[in-house]
Amino acid sequence: MKHFEYFSAHSAEEAVALLQKYSPDALPIAGGTELLVRMKQNLIHPKVLVDITHVPEFQGIALTEEGLRIGSLVTHAEVAASPLVRQFAPAVAAASGSVGAVQTRNLGTLGGNLVSCVPSIDSAPALLVLEAQAVVFGVNGRRQFPLTELFVGPRCSSLTPAELLEAVIIPRHNLGKPTCFSKFGRRKALTIALVNAAACVETNPERTHFSQVRLALGAVAPTPIRAYTAEAYLAGRPIAQEVLLEAGRLAAEDAKPIDDFRASAEYRRHLIGVLTRRVIEGALAGMPKV
Amino acid sequence: MERDVIRKVPLVKPGEPGMIVEEAPTEELAGYPSVGRRIPRRDTIFQVLGQLKYINDLSFPGMLYAKVLRSRYAHARILRVDVSKALEVPGVVAAITADDIPVNSFGPSLQDQPVLAKDKVRHMGDGIAAVAAVSEQIAEEALEKIVVEYEPLPVVLDPLEAMREDAPRIHEPRSNIYWEWHIRKGDVEKALAEAHLVVQERYRTQMVEHVSMETHSSIAMWDAGGRLTVWCTVGRITLARTDLARILQVPVSRVRVVSTQLGGNFGGKNEITIEPVLAILAKKTGRPVKGTYSRKEEFIASTTRHPFIMEYTSGVTAEGRIIARKVRLIADGGAYCSWSETTLGKATILSAGPYDIPNIALDGYVVYTNKPMTGAMRGFGAPQVCFAYESHMDTIAHRLGMDPLQIRLLNAYDEGSISATGQILHSVALKKTLLAAAERFGWEVKER
Amino acid sequence: MAFTIKVKVNGEWKTADVEPEMTLLELLREQWGLTGTKLGCDEGDCGACTVLFDGKPVNSCLVLAVRADGHEVVTVEGLGTAERPHPLQSAFEQHGAVQCGFCAPGMLISAKALLDANPEPTEQEIREALAGNLCRCTGYTKIVEAVKSAGRAMKSSVK
């Protein structure tokens, strides 16, 4: 790896001040599982790294008035094992548990995964169906916006160079709703998703019809996306195989998959259909018995 | 090594305390300490303690680190190489190019591979220059200062295209077809004309990298008497030794090659790679020089498994007897020969499959392309043809409405069968094996 | 600028001067001679460089050495000795779970982390715990058997 200057920040203010001071040559580092690989591969050469691992504001998982707050520095292993996340947002825990392997989950952080804005990130779909908010800290203080607005394009986020993702908040009204995450890769572990998906499902009390379904997909468009056409179709429809099939077909239309060395667009469209059914059925299966 | 550790190794009587020696499987073997028993390996204890030294775990005082500049193009003429700026980087001790190499060619069959490319590069793994520095990091930085002027040439990636007369020649003036094998038995054309059914198919396989956990790594050091010692991850030390002696133009007796524990070989470490570069840098600097491949270099600058294109034509009787088989193999040979001749030979010899076929015509070709070298990998071409002839057998069975097992039993080699090359076979247990396997996994022969 | 760091390695505090770009793997292997931890892919895919970082398995090729300041690291050399091998080391030897041996140090560290947290893992749990450690020689069957047997051995020795 090429030489760089290294600073360790001990508060959010210090971190963004350092990033601003050395902009545009500085990058923040947390788990390093993405950044260091790109540096070793000679894809990027930051002159300054600001280590934010010890920034206290970005730590921890807590239930607040607003909802479930997950600090950006919480590792995937911690998200996956958290009793709070497992209780109130099980699909989020499952998604973090599917990232990489044990070693990468112990280093990699939820925030790092999200801000990388790689289309296939596993942490995004489950948070999107729970309508998570992003809390961002910058030199001018905090701002908060829907997580969907973080994703601009492949490896491109809406953060300015001196802004950091502080936390994500899953709003209180969505806590505990039936969700499911599913991922399809070429291997069962340590793999990048060819397609990943999450659903949040609500039904009528008799459990015969969908009342509202939110569906999100990854690795099938320049950013993780919500499948709005499929969602609109499902609202009010009966819970039936042919409805799920049609929803899968519509979800594939919501997406813009590409051919790459991992899979063809055609195969990805097929996978969208399969995973759409799987996550909706998975969320239904997780609901308490009628 | 400490004696007490060696004592753990059971070249001892069965039943001695602390040993993991199982009971002798038969009375006959009771007097033998190791035959037919599971015995832990001698080196395992050192491996699990983390004490066993692989090449990259070794270092010597004053040791330098080498890095090789790889080509930017898959096929190009080299107009100019200038290492002067690299030499100015603090910490860089030496830099070399093709001009520093006494005999700039090597290879196990054809000596068609340069140590460092001189006039042209034939794939992106070709080295052009190398530097030795006090650290790997500095060596890598210095590579960026080396100036190379290229004139890009048309690239040939498809072996079928490379076979055409008008294809760009990768080793001009020679044809891109660099080795052929032809095997004939009986009269295949006549038999095909007489066949009840002729089945024709084409199969392709892909390039495979060995991906040993340990990448290639070597250290070269000269002693005061002008003798070279190379510690390296090469499985064939005598070949490495003679190749090095020839390249460096020193007597074989002056070259010592030490190969210790390898972190995986699978055929990918059967020849020298970076060793001559290290030897020349070590000679130039008077210091030991280490070179370790990055994972990326493993993929682009070491050998891989040949992709094959395999055309099969078989003539069968209505009863399912194969009376003729014609095979045409085209192996994508990459930029250099490496073990292609051996691989193609084995593939061609085995390509008719383990079947008693009276009329056979087998043709194998290996061709240059502007891709990573293809060489030895577990099976030397046998896995590729096995995939093709067994898939082909299934197709034939399907077309005849026969059971896949039955067609194999009908055609399989037996005691005294004569192979495609005329070899009379003995101790043939193929049918017995097929039947035993079918019974074990419950294959039911379906009469159709 | 070099940083002076203090790391507890295999139970012993050590200091080192490191450049920011030095990885924990480089520090262990090149400065401290702990070559049991291997460099395989250098990008966190193969697990050959796995060490325990505050008790958790991580890829030491993806940890900057400066980040280890004040932390505890355990490498394969810290598991056991020739006289007193760790039950996992004995089990790997007895079950033939090692061929070329290059993946073994990382495998052992991942397995130790698993057994420390869960002495009686199921086969599925073992496979998940070792998913980040690639082996190219043996296949994983014997490795899984060795981990299972070591778990049993550790449990019975505790009783």
Q: For residue range B100-150, what is the model confidence (pLDDT) as tens digits? A: 999 999 999 999 999 999 999 999 999 999 999 999 999 999 999 999 999
Is the per-residue pLDDT at B10 higher than 60? no
Is the per-residue pLDDT at B15 higher than 80? no
C140 contact residues in A (CB cutoff 8 A):
none
Furthest CA-CA distance within chain A = 63
pLDDT grade, residue C77 (50/70/90)?
very high
The terminus-to-terminus CA distance of chain A in angstroms comes to 58
Is the per-residue pLDDT at C146 higher than 50? yes
pLDDT value for B22: 54
Nearest to C79 by CA among C68, C93, C64, C67: C93
pLDDT grade, residue B448 (50/70/90)?
very low
**DSSP secondary-structure letter at A247?**
H
Mean local confidence (pLDDT), C37-43:
97
Mutate to test the interface with B, among C31, C41, C60, C93 (most CBs of B within 10 A): C93
pLDDT (tens digit, 9 = 90+) per residue, B220-264?
999 999 999 999 999 999 999 999 999 999 999 999 999 988 999
Is the per-residue pLDDT at B7 higher than 50? no
Touching B: A residues 35-54, CB under 8 Å: 41
Domain(s) of CATH 1.10.150.120: residues in chain C: 87-154
Is the per-residue pLDDT at B17 higher than 60? no
- What are the b/e assignments for A74-108, b being 16+ CB within 10 Å? bbbbbbbebebbeebbbbbbbbbbbbbbbbbbbbb
pLDDT value for B193: 98
pLDDT value for B89: 98
Q: Worst-scoring range by mean pLDDT, B11-20, B63-72, B292-301?
A: B11-20
Domain boundaries defined on chain A: 5-51, 58-174, 179-285
Quote the CA–CA distance of B305 and B206 in Å, as a whole number. Answer: 8
**Across the interface, which of A3, A33, A189 has its CB nearest the CB of C62?**
A33
Touching A: B residues 285-304, CB under 8 Å: 296
Domain(s) of CATH 3.10.20.30: residues in chain C: 3-78
pLDDT value for C139: 82
Residue B56, chain C, CB below 8 Å: the answer is: yes
Touching C: B residues 191-250, CB under 8 Å: 210-215
- Minimum CA–CA partner of C37 in chain B: B50
Task: Calculate Rg over the CA atoms of chain C.
Answer: 15
A1 contact residues in B (CB cutoff 8 A):
137
**Across the interface, which of B20, B40, B53 has its CB nearest the CB of C35?**
B53
pLDDT (tens digit, 9 = 90+) per residue, B314-360?
999 999 999 999 999 999 999 999 999 999 999 999 999 999 999 99
pLDDT value for A66: 97
DSSP string of B154-204, one letter each residue? -----HHHHHSTTSPPTTTTS-SEEEEEEEEES-HHHHHHH-SEEEEEEEE
pLDDT value for C48: 98
In the CATH hierarchy, which top-level class contains the domain C87-154?
mainly alpha
pLDDT value for B28: 73
B88: exposed, middle or buried (Cβ count in 10 Å: 0-12, 13-18, 19+): exposed
Residue with tokens 């139970």: C11
The CATH topology of domain A5-51 is 3.30.43
Is the per-residue pLDDT at B160 higher than 60? yes
**Across the interface, which of B20, B49, B53 has its CB nearest the CB of C82?**
B49
pLDDT value for B25: 63
What rounded mean pLDDT belongs to chain B? 93
The CATH topology of domain A179-285 is Enolase-like; domain 1 (3.30.390)
Is the per-residue pLDDT at B180 higher than 90? yes
pLDDT value for B3: 36
Is the per-residue pLDDT at A32 higher than 90? yes
Mean local confidence (pLDDT), B156-184:
97
Nearest to A271 by CA among A201, A189, A202, A186: A186
In the CATH hierarchy, which top-level class contains the domain A58-174?
alpha beta
pLDDT grade, residue B23 (50/70/90)?
low
CATH architecture under which domain C3-78 falls: Roll (3.10)
Run of H or E including B141: helix B136-143
ipTM: 0.96
- Minimum CA–CA partner of B144 in chain A: A42
Q: Map out the domains of chain B with their CATH numbers.
A: 1-52 (no CATH), 64-152 (3.90.1170.50), 161-208+303-440 (3.30.365.10), 217-296 (3.30.365.10)
Mean local confidence (pLDDT), C58-86:
97
Is the per-residue pLDDT at A2 higher than 90? yes
pLDDT value for B307: 98
B296 contact residues in A (CB cutoff 8 A):
41
What rounded mean pLDDT belongs to chain A? 97
A51 contact residues in C (CB cutoff 8 A):
64, 66-67
Q: How many CA atoms lie within 13 A of B388 on its CB side?
A: 32
pLDDT (tens digit, 9 = 90+) per residue, A172-215?
999 999 999 999 999 888 999 999 999 999 999 999 999 999 99
Alpha helices in chain A (DSSP H): 12-21, 35-40, 76-81, 83-88, 90-97, 102-107, 110-116, 124-129, 228-234, 241-254, 265-285
